[in-house]
Protein backbone atom coordinates (compact mmCIF):
# COMPACT_ATOMS: atom_id res chain seq x y z
CA UNK A 1 0.00 0.00 0.00
CA UNK A 2 1.50 3.35 -1.01
CA UNK A 3 1.66 6.12 1.57
CA UNK A 4 1.34 9.69 0.32
CA UNK A 5 0.91 13.05 1.96
CA UNK A 6 0.69 15.81 -0.63
CA UNK A 7 -0.94 18.96 0.67
CA UNK A 8 -2.53 21.38 -1.79
CA UNK A 9 -4.01 24.81 -1.04
CA UNK A 10 -6.88 25.27 -3.49
CA UNK A 11 -8.90 28.41 -4.12
CA UNK A 12 -11.82 28.88 -6.47
CA UNK A 13 -14.37 31.63 -6.91
CA UNK A 14 -18.02 31.90 -7.70
CA UNK A 15 -19.01 32.54 -11.31
CA UNK A 16 -18.00 36.11 -12.21
CA UNK A 17 -17.02 36.47 -8.54
CA UNK A 18 -20.64 37.16 -7.67
CA UNK A 19 -21.13 37.26 -3.86
CA UNK A 20 -23.60 34.34 -3.74
CA UNK A 21 -22.35 33.25 -0.31
CA UNK A 22 -23.37 36.51 1.30
CA UNK A 23 -23.90 35.42 4.91
CA UNK A 24 -21.76 33.64 7.46
CA UNK A 25 -24.58 31.16 8.07
CA UNK A 26 -24.83 30.23 4.38
CA UNK A 27 -21.05 29.92 4.06
CA UNK A 28 -20.90 27.64 7.10
CA UNK A 29 -23.62 25.39 5.61
CA UNK A 30 -21.77 25.19 2.29
CA UNK A 31 -18.36 24.52 3.87
CA UNK A 32 -19.87 21.84 6.11
CA UNK A 33 -21.55 20.19 3.13
CA UNK A 34 -18.35 20.25 1.06
CA UNK A 35 -16.46 18.67 3.97
CA UNK A 36 -19.11 15.91 4.29
CA UNK A 37 -19.09 15.30 0.54
CA UNK A 38 -15.29 15.09 0.53
CA UNK A 39 -15.42 12.46 3.26
CA UNK A 40 -17.89 10.38 1.22
CA UNK A 41 -15.63 10.62 -1.84
CA UNK A 42 -12.52 9.73 0.19
CA UNK A 43 -11.02 13.17 -0.35
CA UNK A 44 -9.00 14.28 2.65
CA UNK A 45 -10.13 17.85 3.17
CA UNK A 46 -8.05 19.16 6.05
CA UNK A 47 -9.51 22.67 6.25
CA UNK A 48 -12.11 24.75 4.41
CA UNK A 49 -13.32 28.32 4.63
CA UNK A 50 -13.85 31.28 2.37
CA UNK A 51 -15.82 34.41 1.80
CA UNK A 52 -18.86 35.59 -0.16
CA UNK A 53 -17.27 34.98 -3.56
CA UNK A 54 -14.67 32.24 -3.08
CA UNK A 55 -13.59 29.11 -1.26
CA UNK A 56 -10.23 28.00 0.18
CA UNK A 57 -9.49 24.32 0.81
CA UNK A 58 -6.46 22.58 2.20
CA UNK A 59 -6.53 19.04 0.87
CA UNK A 60 -4.15 16.11 0.92
CA UNK A 61 -4.22 14.12 -2.30
CA UNK A 62 -4.53 10.35 -2.14
CA UNK A 63 -2.22 8.20 -4.24
CA UNK A 64 -4.79 7.91 -7.06
CA UNK A 65 -6.23 11.44 -6.94
CA UNK A 66 -5.45 14.37 -9.22
CA UNK A 67 -5.90 18.03 -8.38
CA UNK A 68 -8.27 18.55 -11.31
CA UNK A 69 -10.56 15.61 -10.51
CA UNK A 70 -10.59 16.35 -6.78
CA UNK A 71 -11.56 20.00 -7.26
CA UNK A 72 -14.09 19.05 -9.94
CA UNK A 73 -15.78 16.63 -7.52
CA UNK A 74 -15.92 19.23 -4.73
CA UNK A 75 -17.11 22.12 -6.91
CA UNK A 76 -19.57 20.17 -9.05
CA UNK A 77 -21.39 18.42 -6.26
CA UNK A 78 -21.54 21.50 -4.03
CA UNK A 79 -22.95 23.62 -6.85
CA UNK A 80 -25.60 20.98 -7.52
CA UNK A 81 -26.45 20.78 -3.79
CA UNK A 82 -26.70 24.57 -3.38
CA UNK A 83 -29.11 24.81 -6.34
CA UNK A 84 -31.13 21.72 -5.35
CA UNK A 85 -31.68 23.22 -1.89
CA UNK A 86 -32.32 26.71 -3.30
CA UNK A 87 -29.80 28.31 -0.96
CA UNK A 88 -29.25 31.28 -3.28
CA UNK A 89 -31.81 33.46 -5.04
CA UNK A 90 -30.12 33.08 -8.42
CA UNK A 91 -28.67 29.94 -10.00
CA UNK A 92 -25.40 29.23 -8.22
CA UNK A 93 -22.22 28.46 -10.15
CA UNK A 94 -18.54 28.18 -9.39
CA UNK A 95 -16.09 29.64 -11.89
CA UNK A 96 -14.30 27.04 -14.03
CA UNK A 97 -10.82 28.18 -13.04
CA UNK A 98 -9.07 27.51 -9.76
CA UNK A 99 -5.77 28.15 -8.05
CA UNK A 100 -3.79 25.29 -6.52
CA UNK A 101 -0.34 25.27 -4.97
CA UNK A 102 1.56 22.65 -3.01
CA UNK A 103 2.12 23.25 0.69
CA UNK A 104 5.10 22.09 2.69
CA UNK A 105 4.16 20.20 5.83
CA UNK A 106 6.34 22.64 7.77
CA UNK A 107 3.84 25.47 7.13
CA UNK A 108 0.54 23.55 7.31
CA UNK A 109 -0.47 25.35 10.52
CA UNK A 110 0.22 28.73 8.90
CA UNK A 111 -1.97 27.83 5.89
CA UNK A 112 -4.76 26.55 8.17
CA UNK A 113 -4.64 29.82 10.11
CA UNK A 114 -4.77 31.82 6.86
CA UNK A 115 -7.81 29.86 5.66
CA UNK A 116 -9.47 30.06 9.09
CA UNK A 117 -9.22 33.88 9.15
CA UNK A 118 -10.93 34.62 5.82
CA UNK A 119 -13.70 36.74 7.37
CA UNK A 120 -11.19 39.02 9.04
CA UNK A 121 -8.78 38.95 6.10
CA UNK A 122 -11.42 40.16 3.64
CA UNK A 123 -12.38 43.13 5.75
CA UNK A 124 -9.03 44.56 4.62
CA UNK A 125 -8.49 43.02 1.19
CA UNK A 126 -10.73 42.05 -1.74
CA UNK A 127 -10.56 38.66 -3.40
CA UNK A 128 -9.12 40.34 -6.50
CA UNK A 129 -6.28 41.80 -4.43
CA UNK A 130 -5.70 38.40 -2.84
CA UNK A 131 -5.76 36.70 -6.25
CA UNK A 132 -3.26 39.17 -7.71
CA UNK A 133 -0.94 38.58 -4.74
CA UNK A 134 -1.14 34.80 -5.25
CA UNK A 135 -0.29 35.18 -8.94
CA UNK A 136 2.79 37.24 -8.11
CA UNK A 137 3.86 35.27 -5.02
CA UNK A 138 3.73 31.90 -6.77
CA UNK A 139 5.08 33.10 -10.13
CA UNK A 140 2.01 32.37 -12.27
CA UNK A 141 1.80 34.15 -15.60
CA UNK A 142 -1.46 36.13 -15.59
CA UNK A 143 -1.93 35.78 -19.36
CA UNK A 144 -1.89 32.00 -19.03
CA UNK A 145 -4.68 32.01 -16.45
Per-10-residue mean pLDDT of the chain, 145 residues long, equals: 89 96 97 98 97 97 94 97 97 95 96 93 85 84 55
Q: Provide the pLDDT for residue 143.
A: 54
8 membership: H or E segment, kind and range: strand 6-13
Q: Provide the pLDDT for residue 142.
A: 55
Residues 59 and 44: beta-carbon distance below 8 Å: yes
User: Rounded to an integer, what distance in angstroms lies between the CA atom of residue 117 and that of residue 49?
Assistant: 8
User: Rounded to an integer, what distance in angstroms lies between the CA atom of residue 77 and that of residue 73?
Assistant: 6
Residues 48 and 35: beta-carbon distance below 8 Å: yes
Domains of the chain, CATH where assigned: 6-140 (3.30.70.1290)
Q: Which residues of 79-88 are buried (b: 16+ CB within 10 A; e: fewer)?
A: bebbeeeeeb
- pTM to 2 decimal places: 0.89
Amino acid sequence: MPFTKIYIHCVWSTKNRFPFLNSIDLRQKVWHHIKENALKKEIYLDYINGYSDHCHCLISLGNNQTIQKTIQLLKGESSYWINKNQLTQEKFEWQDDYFAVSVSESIIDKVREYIKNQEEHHKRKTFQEEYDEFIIKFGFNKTAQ
